[in-house]
């Protein structure tokens, strides 16, 4: 896996506050914290993207229980082939 360096500017007071709090949340370094936050952000963005796609697939008048039943029926039918 290749890595890229990220450089950004932040106020010294804010950075000092971050450094004081990192260990309270179980992080040893700023890099470890930053990587975790980037992963969380990407995962959340992927979830939102998937939910958006699922919303487009929503069919009015059909509830979740009916969808589950359709899937169960489909699986039963598939198993008998």
pLDDT for 59 equals 67
pLDDT at 19 over 90: yes
Taking only the tens place, the pLDDT of each residue in 26-80 is: 999 999 999 999 999 999 999 998 888 777 766 667 777 888 888 899 888 876 6
Positive/negative CA dihedral, 61, 65, 70, 71: positive
Question: pTM for this one?
Answer: 0.61
- Which residues contact residue 34 at a Cβ distance below 8 angstroms, ignoring those fewer than 6 apart? 6
């Amino acid at each position: 896996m290749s890595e890229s360096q990220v450089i950004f500017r932040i106020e010294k007071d804010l950075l000092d506050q971050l450094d004081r709090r990192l260990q309270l949340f179980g992080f040893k370094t700023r890099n470890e914290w930053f990587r975790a936050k980037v992963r969380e952000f990407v995962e959340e963005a992927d979830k939102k993207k998937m939910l958006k796609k699922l919303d487009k697939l929503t069919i009015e008048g059909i509830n979740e229980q009916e969808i589950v039943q359709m899937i169960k029926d489909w699986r039963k039918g598939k198993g008998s082939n």
